[in-house]
Amino acid sequence: MEAFNYRDGELFAEGVALSAIAARFGTPTYVYSRAHIETQYRAYTDALSGLPHLVCFAVKANSNLGVLNVLARLGAGFDIVSRGELERVLAAGGEPGKIVFSGVGKTRDDMRRALEVGVHCFNVESSVELERLQEVAAELGVKAPVSLRVNPDVDAGTHPYISTGLKENKFGIAIADAEAVYARAAELANLEVIGVDCHIGSQLTSLPPFLDALERLLGLIDRLAARGIHIRHLDLGGGLGVRYKDETPPLAGEYIQAIRQRIAGRDLALVFEPGRFIVANAGVLLTQVEYLKHTEHKDFAIVDAAMNDLIRPALYQAWMDVVAVHPRDAAPRAYDIVGPICETGDFLAKGRELALDEGDLLAVRSAGAYGFVMSSNYNTRGRAAEVLVDGAQAHEVRRRETLAELFAGESRLPE
């Protein structure tokens, strides 16, 4: 399903022209498609039908309340990594009993709140965290449901910054140590072992790394069963890739079918934590050309969005497609699309063949995941607005940050 299409020479989000969104809400603005989010979520749940499962959207990919609410209405679960994300999910109408809590640095306060609201499971990433969770649960007089995040030591073959399943990464418990930590967890009175968890990396574009990890986890589950530790659910994390340029990641259906075959006959529920797959291609970053600057060496399109709005190109050398909202019938030039920030690394794209004029609108595609959520106020720039399109309607789900808000919490020294 393609949410952003050209109609009469102009790019639309579902039934709304992006030029109308720019006119109404200004730029830069993130624009999301409700229909695309729903289609992607259902690609998982349809493929899982007939099996006990929970699809927990990875909130870190896009934590806008409007987006979370669309998923909550479909009955989605959520994968969170902070108290802040927990409060967002609750505010968006998500069910606490469908939340899994990941992350290597959970504080006591995070644990307390998550136990109070009753999350589905803690994905525990170390033996020290396990002991702390036992203490906090004992203080509250409750039992904490626990999975261990196991590091299966497989190479996800993705960018080093988003590869998490190798033994040198900070995440999870080495698979060789996992049995001992499970045995300890089973002894602790305020913990209840319910699952095994892993997440080997993000933007994976082939199945073998997922299936390698799965085999290793199934082996672990069998060894635990032999010790009398019964695992009820297997959480395979997120990581399924999307197309930014010409990648051909497996379809959700293929991925899940391959897993179903391998777990057939086992009494296991499946949990997934997809982020990018659900929202990346559900969003664009809409920006306007401020200046065209032609130098001896390069042609620059200086736009009103910058690395503070979308850091993926600067941080991961990520290639993101940039298209004209209203393509011109003129000779293209190879533009570097850059922002106003005072850093050479402030670019959104390089060497793109486009025919442009000042004032033109551009859309940076596939920006719905790890876009707005990674934005900052660098150079004292307010963060972009976010708009969620639903059919013929455009809803502003986050208004643009004002300059006054940017330094509202600051103060001068006393006179």
Give the burial class of 344: count Cβ atoms within 10 A of its Cβ; 0-12 exposed, 13-18 middle, 19 or more buried. exposed
Going by the DSSP 8-state scheme, the letter that residue 201 receives in this structure is B
Question: From the list 14, 38, 79, 386, which residue makes contact with ligand LLP (rule: CB under 6 A)?
Answer: 79
Based on the shown chain and the rule CB under 6 A, indicate whether residue 129 belongs to the binding site for ligand LLP. Answer: no
Inter-helix orientation angle 208-226/252-263, to 10°:
30
Based on the shown chain and the rule CB under 6 A, indicate whether residue 162 belongs to the binding site for ligand LLP. Answer: yes
* Residue span binding ligand LLP (CB under 6 A) among the ranges 108-116, 223-231, 234-242, 334-342: 234-242
Specify the residue, 117 or 315, whose C-beta has the smaller distance to ligand LLP: 315
Based on the shown chain and the rule CB under 6 A, indicate whether residue 237 belongs to the binding site for ligand LLP. Answer: yes
Specify the residue, 309 or 360, whose C-beta has the smaller distance to ligand LLP: 309
* Residue span binding ligand LLP (CB under 6 A) among the ranges 13-21, 232-240, 342-350, 375-383: 232-240
Least distance from ligand LLP to the Cβ atom of residue 241, Å? 7
DSSP string, 244-274: SSS--PPPHHHHHHHHHHHHTTS--EEEE--
CA 407, 408, 414, 415 torsion-angle sign: positive
Based on the shown chain and the rule CB under 6 A, indicate whether residue 199 belongs to the binding site for ligand LLP. Answer: yes
Based on the shown chain and the rule CB under 6 A, indicate whether residue 98 belongs to the binding site for ligand LLP. Answer: no
Question: From the list 27, 102, 126, 366, which residue makes contact with ligand LLP (rule: CB under 6 A)?
Answer: 102
Specify the residue, 162 or 263, whose C-beta has the smaller distance to ligand LLP: 162
Specify the residue, 29 or 163, whose C-beta has the smaller distance to ligand LLP: 163
Least distance from ligand LLP to the Cβ atom of residue 406, Å? 24
Based on the shown chain and the rule CB under 6 A, indicate whether residue 370 belongs to the binding site for ligand LLP. Answer: yes
Query: Known catalytic residue: 342?
Result: yes
* Residue span binding ligand LLP (CB under 6 A) among the ranges 18-26, 70-78, 235-243, 252-260: 235-243
> Looking only at residues 36 through 65 of this chain, which bind ligand LLP when binding is defined by CB under 6 A?
58, 61
Specify the residue, 61 or 119, whose C-beta has the smaller distance to ligand LLP: 61
**What track of x and - describes contact with ligand LLP for positions 275 through 294 (by CB under 6 A)?**
xxx-----------------
Question: From the list 153, 273, 346, 386, which residue makes contact with ligand LLP (rule: CB under 6 A)?
Answer: 273
Tell me the three state secondary structure of residue 280.
helix
* Residue span binding ligand LLP (CB under 6 A) among the ranges 23-31, 197-205, 215-223, 299-307: 197-205
Tell me the three state secondary structure of residue 154.
coil
Least distance from ligand LLP to the Cβ atom of residue 174, Å? 16
254: its two tokens: 């293929």
E strand intervals along 230-384: 233-235, 269-272, 283-294, 299-303, 322-324, 333-338, 347-354, 361-364
Assign residue 366 a region (left: φ > 0; alpha: ψ between -120 and 50; beta: otherwise).
Answer: left
The string over 362-382, giving b where at least 16 C-beta atoms fall within 10 Å of a residue's C-beta and e elsewhere, is bbbbbbbbbbbbbbeeeeebb
Decide if 366 contacts 321 (C-beta within 8 A): yes
Instruction: Report how far residue 155's alpha carbon sits from residue 299's, in angstroms, rounded to the nearest whole number.
Output: 39
Instruction: Report how far residue 105's alpha carbon sits from residue 118's, in angstroms, rounded to the nearest whole number.
Output: 19
- Residue 215: name the closest of 263, 253, 251 by CA: 263
Q: Give the list of residues 6+ apart from residue 66 with CB closer than 8 angstroms, or none.
A: 32, 92, 386, 388, 395, 397, 398
Count of residues binding ligand LLP (CB under 6 A)? 20
Report H helices in 48-174: 65-73, 83-91, 108-117, 127-140
Based on the shown chain and the rule CB under 6 A, indicate whether residue 14 belongs to the binding site for ligand LLP. Answer: no
Based on the shown chain and the rule CB under 6 A, indicate whether residue 172 belongs to the binding site for ligand LLP. Answer: no
Based on the shown chain and the rule CB under 6 A, indicate whether residue 101 belongs to the binding site for ligand LLP. Answer: no
4: its two tokens: 């952003």
Per the annotation, where are the binding residues for substrate? Answer: 276, 312, 316, 343, 370
43: its two tokens: 């690609």
Tell me the three state secondary structure of residue 383.
coil
Based on the shown chain and the rule CB under 6 A, indicate whether residue 312 belongs to the binding site for ligand LLP. Answer: yes
Based on the shown chain and the rule CB under 6 A, indicate whether residue 323 belongs to the binding site for ligand LLP. Answer: no
Per the annotation, where are the binding residues? Answer: 239, 273-276, 312, 316, 343, 370
Active site positions, annotated:
342
Q: Which residues bind ligand LLP (CB under 6 A)?
A: 58, 61, 79, 102, 162, 199, 202-203, 237-239, 273-277, 312, 316, 369-370
